[in-house]
Structure 1
Amino acid sequence: MAIEIFSRKEQKYLITRRQYEELVDRISPKMRNVKNGTEGSYSVTSLYFDSPDKSIYFETKNKLKYRQKLRLRVYDEADLNSTAFFEVKQRHKQVVNKRRMILPLREAYRYLEGDYKEDFSDIETSNPQVMKEIDYFRKYYDLKPEMVVSYSRHALHGVTDPELRITFDFDLKCRKHDLHIENGPYGDYFIDSDLVVLEVKVDHAVPLWLARILQELNCEQRSASKFCTSMELLSSDALPQSGYMEPKELEEPTIGGIENESDHELVFI
């Protein structure tokens, strides 16, 4: 059963395909491919939502301490009967909380079209409480389907620490003209096709051995928002400039740093 409510730390990097190959080789003794997909590789296609005044975009762009977004996601080839994941992703500094439920994609579309009972008793979902929270969030912000973001992902987890997870995302594309995610991963590239988005996901802290490898390969941490980058490519002319504010403290690119000799203490890698 999919984990529906969880919290973790996520750190993003923008690396080259050559760095990706070297990194996978270096971490292979301690990491293995996840069981999903083919040798840990699969496609991800997500429908993102925003309000008419693009409030979700500006929360992320302005790097608010607390920000959140709503998305509907499928994996690999999908049709209306496939399992979809509806989730609210909340971020406070580097800690990410997700509240997620699963339902057939056709049920998700039926909900978005307003064809359901007020108490959601006629919606097939794994978690009615999360369904209510998603509905509240969507109505509070007046969220509407905004765009589709898709990519290929290679995911690994720790051999002895399954909570340590590393993902590499390639061929990142977006589109606005076809918001049916069952139509698959296609669209315009919003990041250079030679670049890879690396995410390190942990419950507590990144282990020392991984921090050292990231340092040695000069992997720089980057705040790379797929949502914002796609929005700026697809809707730059429509973005209301009055909503943008520079964050008080800009996030500078950094390379993995060690706080002490503990196997688990790490800051801002």
Structure 2
Amino acid sequence: MQPSLTYRNELKYFVSPHQYLTIQKRLKHLIAQDKHVGPTGEYHIRSLYFDDIDNTALHEKLGGIRDRAKFRIRIYNKQDQVIHFEKKIKFKDYIAKVKEPLTRDMHDQIMAGHYEALRHSNRPLLREIHQEITQRLLRPKVIVDYVREPFICENGNVRITFDKELRTGLNSVNLFDPNLRTIRALDHNLIILEVKYDQYLPAYIQAALQLEGLNRQSASKYVICRKYLKTNTWEDY
């Protein structure tokens, strides 16, 4: 593992609306919600995922490659106050994330195909992204859109999230498009439960989650949403 990165455990499950309500009710009596939630206890996440000319991130995930990475730009609540370019890294059974903030102007320049701000940045991640863009033709592929309900626990540095209404954007790479056309990416109103923690998951949280009775899944939101995409290159949008 790279010493500069913090690797965490990540477990993912599909849950039905009934399972969600049961687990959520238990969690509300045990741990707190994330401080960034709105009045409904949720916030909206929209990400623009990138892949290279060979669709490496997609094929490595589908091929079961354990050590891999993918890149995305992420915003919250459809606003531009917080914009991050992120690299999510998978190493064996662990995950890590590196991210750097973008200004709206930097975002717009990247979307217009002007990458000089990345190349001249003093931030290693942005320089790496510039290299991926110029050498491996890293380009936007698909928008992933959902509502997140997050819970946190300092004991074990646990973060539990329910990701609802997973949708994918069609024929657009504009994160801020107010008229973005999206379609539902999961059937049967399924919700994605994610459990992230450092070294251990406290026993009382394990008891509340009862993970052994859930449908563990490995498909990423990126892969789920890519199946709806008919085109694979930047120029096709």
Q: TM-score range by the shorter chain?
A: 0.7 to 0.9
Aligned letter for 2:9?
K
Q: Which position in structure 2 is the counterpart of 1:219?
A: 214
Alignment check: 8 A CA contact 1:6 1:99 kept = no
Using the size of structure 2 for normalisation, the TM-score is: 0.85
Q: Which runs of 5+ in 2 are unaligned?
A: none
Any unmatched runs of 5+ in structure 1? 122-126, 240-269
What residue number does 2:89 align with? 90
Residue 226 of structure 2 corresponds to: 231
Larger Rg: 1 or 2? 1
Cα distance 1:115–1:52, how it changes in 2: closer, same or farther (>3 A)?
A: closer
With over 3 angstroms needed to count, the CA separation of the structure-2 counterparts of 1:118 and 1:200, relative to structure 1, is closer
What's the C-alpha RMSD, in Å, of the aligned pairs? 2.5
What SS class does the counterpart of residue 149 from structure 1 fall into?
A: strand
CA distance in 1, matches of 2:118, 2:17: 48
Given the alignment, which residue of 166, 173, 191 partners 2:167?
A: 173
- Partners of 1:207 and 1:37 in 2: how far apart? 24
Given that 2:83 and 2:104 are in contact with CA atoms closer than 8 Å, whether structure 1 keeps it comes out as yes
Query: Residues 10-30 of structure 1: CA distance to partner in whole angstroms, max 9, x if unpaired?
Result: 110000111111101112232
Query: Hey, what's the Cα distance between the residues in 2 that align with 1:115 and 1:132?
Result: 10
- The normalised TM-score by structure 1 is 0.76
| 1:119 Cα deviation after fit | 4.7
Indicate the SS of the match to 1:211: helix
Q: Which amino acid aligns with 1:149?
A: V
Give matches, 1:19-58, under 5 Å. 19-39=19-39, 40-58=41-59
Conserved 8 A contact 2:57-2:69: yes
Structure-2 residue corresponding to 1:245: none
1:200 aligns with 2:199: no
The 1:155–1:131 alpha-carbon spacing in structure 2 relative to 1, beyond 3 Å, is: same
2:228, 2:205 → 1: CA distance?
A: 33
Deviation larger for 8-17 or 50-59: 50-59
Give, in angstroms, the shift of residue 68 of structure 1.
0.7
**In structure 2, do the counterparts of structure 1 residues 117 and 105 end up closer, same or farther at CA, with 3 Å as the change threshold?**
closer
- SS of the aligned residue for 1:100 comes to strand
